């Protein structure tokens, strides 16, 4: 593989593009929103500058990586020659299904189609194409350039050849791929999101406060960050969407989203990206304070 296209220039998409570029692949980062593309370029440059300051890469390597990324505001002719297309669009089923159908029509027969989805069925996405054996999940972790794991998700018809190629490719990127089968939430979010959901229930019911819940999990369980802070970092809307996929997929009440989470998302409390979630975040600062959240059940 030499030519990679990434669809979606948000946080995950630009991180994936940067990672491939640093791996010496030619990358087309595609987003219909030009302002998001411009923001992505600045974010990638900032990330690479940080790596230069830490002596992780040279200035020459930074420039070479940037030059390998082509920022494109439309799905154009270039995508036809891609060896791999990684979809990193909004985590909404109807958007992804329409996109996979379009990609199947536009791309060459040899092109592999991958999704960075954190919970949506790879088998379902593949069903919109005529190349189900070439459709697979590449679930990168955030921040992509730093986190080592790639959850490689096999759809019902994903071929062994496709799986082996993606496992090998992930290793060439300096990542550690872990192979899983296509069930709701895969492994990462099937285990993580119920924990986050239970932490939100514990908060809502007044068992403990925000900092207390997070402190217990960091100090007592050696988690790098508490579940409520992690939820803010992931995005509360994304957490809600994943829980809804789990709930619908398994029809099990243990995956039902906490009503407090639903209320927060409906009120625009989305976490770091909106500046307010369980914590409130100052602009351009790593400082955070505890949010005042209504509708908590007090003891």
CB count in 10 Å sphere of residue 154? 20
Residue 109, helix vs strand vs coil: coil
Q: How far apart are the first and last CA of the chain?
A: 59
- The one catalytic residue among 5, 14, 139, 188: 139
87 is catalytic: no
- The one catalytic residue among 116, 118, 121, 202: 118
CB 84 within 8 A of CB 99: no
Residue 204, helix vs strand vs coil: helix
Residues whose CB is less than 8 angstroms from the CB of residue 2 and which lie 6 or more positions away in sequence, other chains included: 25, 26, 83
CB 278 within 8 A of CB 229: yes
User: Whose CA is closest to 240, among 249, 231, 252?
Assistant: 231
55 is catalytic: no
- The one catalytic residue among 82, 121, 189, 202: 189
User: Whose CA is closest to 261, among 233, 289, 239, 246?
Assistant: 239
Q: Are strands 279-281 and 288-290 parallel, antiparallel or unpaired?
A: antiparallel
189 is catalytic: yes
User: Whose CA is closest to 182, among 129, 117, 253?
Assistant: 117
- The one catalytic residue among 5, 151, 188, 202: 151
151 is catalytic: yes
- Angstrom distance (rounded) from CA 121 to CA 181: 10
User: Which residues are the active-site residues?
Assistant: 118, 139, 151, 189
């Amino acid at each position: 593989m030499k030519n990679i296209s990434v669809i979606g220039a948000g946080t995950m998409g630009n991180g994936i593009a940067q990672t491939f570029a640093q791996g010496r692949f030619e990358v087309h980062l595609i987003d219909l929103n030009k302002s998001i593309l411009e923001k992505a370029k600045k974010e990638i440059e900032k990330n690479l500058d940080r790596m230069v300051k830490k002596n992780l890469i040279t200035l020459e390597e930074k420039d070479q990586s940037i030059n390998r990324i082509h920022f494109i505001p439309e799905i154009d002719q270039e995508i036809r020659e891609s060896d791999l297309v990684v979809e990193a669009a909004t985590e909404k089923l109807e958007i992804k299904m329409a996109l996979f159908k379009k990609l199947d029509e536009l791309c060459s027969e040899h092109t592999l189609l991958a999704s960075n989805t954190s919970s949506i069925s790879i088998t379902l996405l593949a069903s919109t194409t005529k190349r189900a054996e070439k459709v697979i999940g590449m679930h990168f972790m955030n921040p992509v350039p730093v986190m080592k794991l790639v959850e490689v998700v096999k759809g019902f018809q994903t071929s062994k050849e496709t799986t082996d190629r993606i496992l090998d490719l992930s290793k060439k990127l300096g990542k550690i791929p872990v192979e899983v089968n296509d069930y709701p939430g895969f492994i990462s979010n099937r285990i993580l999101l119920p924990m986050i959901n239970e932490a939100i229930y514990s908060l809502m019911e007044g068992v403990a406060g925000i900092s207390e819940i997070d402190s217990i999990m960091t100090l007592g369980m050696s988690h790098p960050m508490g579940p409520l802070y992690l939820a803010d970092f992931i995005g509360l809307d994304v957490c809600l969407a994943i829980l809804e996929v789990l709930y619908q997929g398994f029809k099990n009440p243990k995956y039902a989203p906490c009503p407090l989470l639903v209320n927060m998302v409906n009120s625009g409390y989305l976490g770091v990206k909106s500046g307010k979630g369980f914590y409130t975040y100052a602009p351009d600062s790593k400082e955070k304070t505890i949010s005042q959240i209504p509708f908590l059940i007090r003891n």
